[in-house]
Amino acid sequence: MSLELKNVEKKIGLDTHIYTTNLKLEKNTINILLGPTLSGKTTLMQIIAGLDKPTTGEIWFNDKNVTGMKVQKRNVSMVYQQFINYPNFTVYENIASPLKITGISTDETKQRVGKVAELLKLSGMLSKKPNELSGGQQQRTALARALVKDSDLILLDEPLANLDFKLREELREELPRLFEDRDCIVVYATTEPSEALLLGGNTATLQEGKVIQYGKTLDVYNKPNSLLSAQVFSDPPMNITKIKKVGDNCSFLDDSVNWKSKINIKDGEYKVGIRPHNITTYKEGNNSLEIKGKVLISELSGSESLIHFTKGDLNWVSLSNGVFQKNVGDEMNLYMNADEFIYFDENERLVTNG
């Protein structure tokens, strides 16, 4: 089983919403579409589902051209950012609704709904109506509707975006388990890099209607093919600076920071991407560079501390473990792990990831 997009392009009027895209999604994989709002995730997803037709190009499923085939015939299910359930159906009827047109017997329906409801912790509320449930339970019902039939393709369009923090964390942890041992292709759109890392599988980074990179999630994270891909896959945003390399000597910020490097690239100027968690308040790794920064903002995120600071003309973001707060305007020492720098050329293509 595989799904392939061949030269798919989507235009609405004169606007191009999706630039020519080639993608091959394999059976039993989770594929994450990662990109900021308006990057084309939803449009691409609707084309994949068959809810929308590409302007040019074809969609092939199991070596069959399914471009323009009606969505009912494609055996797909979809979960949305909004909690989409039939308002005057009970939870049971809602979960059973996708089975209606398949002609499955009542007994089997009952059994399947029961199983899915248990998986999603909805067993106790099968006779309630959606508006009697919390947001998290409404979204669980929508997820159950998607899982109850054996779809070839399950699409999830930012399913956690409308949930509040705690419910989101809770459901996020359950997600990978839900898709285990399912004979289907899962496509999952999200704006959050952490969700992509948690779900694993494959990731496609998107920006302004273009797929920048597609591959195994960890590969895309560790070896972004371009600065753009690295930026999409970094939250908090990636720090970018220019460095000079002459022989073994590397330097940046007008030579104010120098270090020796055995990195095997030719001499010249490079753009370097540094992930916030590689700038810390403590030394990490063997190749730690010390810099002095001036604190702009200091904030806590869970058990981690985010410090925004200035050094040179640039604003930087650092992410350290532990909870502490710095005063605005303080000078402080921060350490960059030079082994984790990602080098890009003048065209912002990857040179090496250190």
Partner 1 sequence: MNKTINQKAWFFVIPVFVLVAFNAIIPLMTVVNYAFQETFGNNVFMWEGTRWFKQIMLSERFHASLGRQFLFTFIILFIQIPLGIGIALTMPKEGIGVPICLVLMSMPLLIPWNVVGAMWNIFALPDIGFLGHSLNALGFDYNFTQQIGDAWFTTILMDVWHWTSLVVLLSYAGLQSIQPAYYQAAEIDGASRWAVFTKIELPKMKKVLTIAILLRFMDSFMIYTEPFVLTGGGPGNATAFLSIDLVKMALGQFDLGPAAAMSLIYFFIVLLVCWVFYTLMMRNEGNQ
Rule CB under 8 A: which residues touch partner 1? 46, 49, 51, 71-72, 76-78, 80-82, 84, 86-89, 97-98, 100-101, 129, 131-132, 145
Conformation bin of residue 156: beta by default, left when phi > 0, alpha when psi is -120 to 50: beta
Q: Nearer Cβ to partner 1, position 2 or 88?
A: 88
The amino acid at residue 234 is S
d(CA 322, CA 324): 6
CB of 128 to partner 1, least distance (A): 9
d(CA 288, CA 334): 9
Cα angle 234, 235, 238; round to 5: 55
CB of 203 to partner 1, least distance (A): 24
Q: Nearer Cβ to partner 1, position 31 or 77?
A: 77
Q: Nearer Cβ to partner 1, position 42 or 305?
A: 42
CB of 204 to partner 1, least distance (A): 22
The amino acid at residue 178 is L
CB of 20 to partner 1, least distance (A): 25
CB of 180 to partner 1, least distance (A): 23
CB of 60 to partner 1, least distance (A): 20
Burial class of residue 193 in the structure, from the number of CB atoms within 10 Å of its CB (0-12 exposed, 13-18 middle, 19+ buried): buried
Compute φ and ψ for 183, nearest 5 degrees: -85, 70
Contact between 279 and 310 under an 8 Å Cβ cutoff? The reply is no
3-class DSSP state of 148: helix
Q: Nearer Cβ to partner 1, position 132 or 290?
A: 132
CB of 186 to partner 1, least distance (A): 15
Residue with tokens 């190009």: 57
The β-bridge relationship of strands 239-246 and 268-274 is: antiparallel
Q: Nearer Cβ to partner 1, position 61 or 341?
A: 61
Q: Nearer Cβ to partner 1, position 72 or 303?
A: 72
Q: Nearer Cβ to partner 1, position 189 or 227?
A: 189
Distance of CA 261 to the CA centre of its chain: 33
**At a CB cut-off of 8 Å and minimum separation 6, what does 117 contact?**
91, 92, 95, 123, 126, 144
Residue with tokens 């308040």: 281
Q: Which two tokens stand for residue 269?
A: 């100027």
CB of 171 to partner 1, least distance (A): 18
Q: Nearer Cβ to partner 1, position 86 or 282?
A: 86
| Helices vs. strands in the chain: H and E counts, helices first | 8, 21
